Amino acid sequence: MILTVTPNPSLDRAYEVPPLVRGRVLRAGGERVDPGGKGVGVSRAVAAAGVRTTAVLPLGGAPGILLAELLGAQGVDVTAVSIAGQTRSNIALTEPDGTLTKINSPGPALSPEEAALLLDTVRSAAAEAAWVACCGSLPRGIEPRWYADLAAQAHAAGARVALDAPGTALPGALAALPDLVTPDASGLAAAVGRPLPTLGDAVKAAEELRERGAGAVLASLGADGRLLVSAEGAFYGTAPAPVVRAAVGAGDASLAGFLIEGGTGPGALASALTHGEAAVRLPGSAMPTSADLRPDLVRITDHPPLDLQLADPGMP
């Protein structure tokens, strides 16, 4: 079973719109309402693949009730922690050329008691999990070290920990020895304090995170593909999508694919690339099923082209 933890979940409303023009009334050509938040996305993708998953979430108000109902309809078990605040709602606008504009609400503030209850709930639920995926931004009221505390609790329960944490939380969480961290290019650059203009620079940065406590680093390099650096070596892969419809949730689908295949080695990297590529061809934050996967598009090498110039070097 794969357990996910999303400290700041959301309802995601996605619209397909004509090219954005400020001050104009735009008519959407399509609309979706999906459960949102990085960990939620991972659980949805895991469930779509037919694997058991539980999502631990702080939920409040009518949006929280709807989010739990939507997840249940998609085969995700929900363990809710009731909070006084109201679960946030986010908006995503996708233009015909694939350009994505997102408006994310800050979400509710959690009290110290609610934050502690969320941590206790994870500790109890982790006893049945092979992996605990801790993902996304932290709500107001929770300090960055909360992710380190969560990783320690999950390890104590016997589960492996995958951490998709924001830049402010990642460095401190490394002391808790997460089995996997999954930064994007900007997060990887921020964690080492320098830009990463080439793939070789990204490999060195990932090795630094391993020296500081991460078991493995699965880095998203955007259009340049994905990089996996672990005790088994460095692996680089790409899976160019023939059509990009919406990028919302692609990273979550990718992490789900990686964990489904055991969470280690080039086979898991191939699964991550396959699921991520499939997700960008779907509307909104829809998650791929087996019928959507195109493993033939994946290319992986254990000899990364270190001089490859990255489109996103991270920090300016």
Which stretches of 108-198 are DSSP H helices?
112-125, 146-156, 170-173, 185-192
Strand partners, 309: 198
Phi, psi for residue 263 in degrees, rounded to 5: 75, 25
Contact 159, 130 (CB under 8 A): yes
Contact 314, 185 (CB under 8 A): yes
**Category of 209 on φ-ψ map: left (φ > 0), alpha (ψ -120 to 50) or beta:** alpha
Residue 29 CA to its chain's centroid (Å): 27
Phi, psi for residue 287 in degrees, rounded to 5: -105, 145
* Torsion sign, CA atoms 194, 199, 201, 205: positive
Q: Which tokens hold the place of 299?
A: 């290319």
Beta strand ranges found along the chain (DSSP E): 2-5, 10-16, 30-36, 53-59, 77-82, 88-94, 100-103, 131-135, 160-164, 180-181, 217-220, 226-230, 233-238, 299-301
Q: Rg of the chain's alpha carbons, rounded to an integer?
A: 18
Quick check: helix, strand or coil at residue 231? coil
Q: Note if 252 is an active site residue.
A: yes
Catalytic site residue from 252, 296, 302, 307: 252
Contact 227, 235 (CB under 8 A): yes
Quick check: helix, strand or coil at residue 134? strand
Contact 56, 79 (CB under 8 A): yes
**Would you please indicate which residues are annotated as catalytic (active-site) residues?**
252
